[in-house]
Amino acid sequence: MSKRLVAIMIAAGLGAAGCATQDAPMTARSAPPPAPITKEAYDSAVRNAEAQYKVSKDACETRAGNAKDICIAEAKGKEKVAKADAEASYKNTPAAREDARVARAEAAHDVAKEKCDDLAGNAKDVCVKEADAALTKAKADAKVARVDADTKQDVAMKEADARRQADADKRDADYKVAAEKCDALSSTAKATCISEAKLKYGKN
C-alpha cells in the first residue's frame, strides 16, 4: 500500500460509509477549539455517543471478516472521538483539547491498522508502520498545540495582572496629587476634599 493511500486513510479517519463518522481530517491542529458546554450538555453528548455506538455496532453485524472488524473499529472510534470532544468542550482547557486531538488520531490509527489486515507480507508491515508513524506525528502535533495554548494563556494572565497593577499604581499616584491639593484648604474643607479623593480613587 502506498504512503499516499495510507495518508488518505488516516486523514479520512472514520469516514467509511455506514459505520464511519464524517469528521474533518484527524490531525492535531486541523479542528478548531470546541465551544464550551455545560455539565448537562456534556452528559447528554456522552449518552448520545454511547447510543450511536450501539446502533453502528449492530449495523456492523451485517458484514463479515475484516470488513466487520473495520466497521467495529470505526464505530468505536466515533464513540471515542465524540466523548473526547465533549470532555474538551466541557473542561475547556488546553490539556483536554490535547486529549481530544489524541483520541481523534488514535481512532484513525485503529481503523487504518484494521484496513492493513487486508494486505499481506511486506505490504502489510509497511501499512502498519505508516499508520503508527501517522499516530506518532499527530500526538506530537497535539502536544505542540497544547504547549502553545498554555503559553498564550500564561502570557494573557501575566498581561492582565500587569494591567491591574498599573491601574492601581496610577490611582495611587492620582490620589496623592489630589490629597496634596487638599492640604491647601481649611480643616473642614480639607476633610471633605480628602473624603472625595478617597472615594474617587478607591481608597475607602
Average pLDDT, the chain: 84
Q: Directed axis angle between helix 39-60 and helix 65-91, to 10°?
A: 180
Q: Residues with Cβ < 8 Å from 53, sequence gap 6 or more?
A: 75, 76, 78, 79
Cβ atoms of residues 147 and 166 within 8 Å: no
More confident residue, 203 or 120: 120
Percentage of the chain beyond pLDDT 90 is: 65
Angle (nearest 5°) at CA 65 between 61 and 70: 75
- State phi, psi for 38 to the nearest 5 degrees: -85, 170
For the chain, the structural domain boundaries read 3-146, 155-200
pLDDT at 160 (0 to 100)? 87
Q: How many Å is the maximal CA-CA distance in the chain?
A: 100
pLDDT at 6 (0 to 100)? 40
pTM over 0.75: no
pLDDT digits (tens, 9 = 90+) for 115-149: 999 999 999 999 999 999 999 999 999 999 898 88
pLDDT at 32 (0 to 100)? 56
pLDDT digits (tens, 9 = 90+) for 22-36: 333 334 444 555 578
